[in-house]
Amino acid sequence: MSEVDPEVDRWRRSTYSAGNSGCIELCDRGDVVKIRDSKNVDGPVIVTGRRQWLDFVAAVCAGEFDHKGGAY
C-alpha cells in the first residue's frame, strides 16, 4: 500500500496551511496513514500505522520535539 492509488486515496491537508508551501498531505486508509509533501505529490510517500501516527502527533502536541537550544 505504499504507492499512491488515485482511485482510492483521498489526500487532505490542514486548513491552517492557508496555501503556504510548507505543508504535508495525509491520506487516512483505516489502519494505515500515508504522508506526502504537498509541493511534490508525485514524490515519495511515507506509510505508517495509524497508532504510530497518532502517537507522533500526540508527542508533537506535547512539545517533545521542541528545540530547547543546543545541537540535535
- pLDDT tens-digit map of 30-46: 899 999 998 888 999 99
Q: Beta strand 24-28 with 46-49: parallel, antiparallel or unpaired?
A: unpaired
Q: Give the pLDDT mean for 54-61.
A: 94
pTM of the model: 0.74
Average pLDDT, the chain: 83
Q: How far apart are CA 50 and CA 31, in angstroms?
A: 5
pLDDT at 20 over 90: no
